[in-house]
């Protein structure tokens, strides 16, 4: 589920509510890096957000979100989704893309 950031206390309460309602094994948070892999201006705030979630007793994975929006937009264009519909769907689809990338990488790790 995509959570639109508002205020940390509200965001954390929403996350805690979702964890209570669902079987959650961990959290994946998109990490906004620059294209060269260096930190962007938003990277430190995302890292701080993840640190502040530390009392939630679940593993938190920060996942590189570079190219997620581009990949999703290309897929939506290929599926002939209109510009207006793409604008409505892009964030949710990019979040799903980021989550799928993290899951695929974790599955590939030898146990």
CA-CA distance, 2 to 28, in Å (whole number)?
11
CA-CA distance, 62 to 29, in Å (whole number)?
5
CA dihedral over 94, 92, 31, 42, signed as positive or negative:
positive
- pLDDT 10s digit of each residue in the chain, 111 long? 677 778 999 999 999 999 999 999 999 999 999 999 999 999 999 999 999 998 899 999 999 999 999 999 999 999 999 999 998 899 999 999 999 999 999 998 887
pTM equals 0.85
């Amino acid at each position: 589920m995509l959570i639109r950031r508002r205020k940390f206390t509200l965001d954390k309460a929403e996350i805690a509510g979702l964890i209570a309602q669902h079987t959650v094994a961990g959290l994946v948070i998109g990490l906004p890096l620059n294209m060269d892999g260096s930190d962007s201006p938003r990277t430190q705030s995302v890292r701080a957000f993840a640190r502040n979630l530390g009392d939630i007793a679940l593993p938190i994975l920060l996942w590189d979100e570079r190219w997620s929006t581009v990949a999703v937009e290309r897929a939506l264009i290929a599926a002939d989704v209109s510009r207006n519909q793409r604008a409505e769907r892009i964030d949710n689809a990019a979040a799903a893309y980021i989550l799928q990338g993290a899951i695929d990488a974790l599955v590939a790790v030898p146990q």
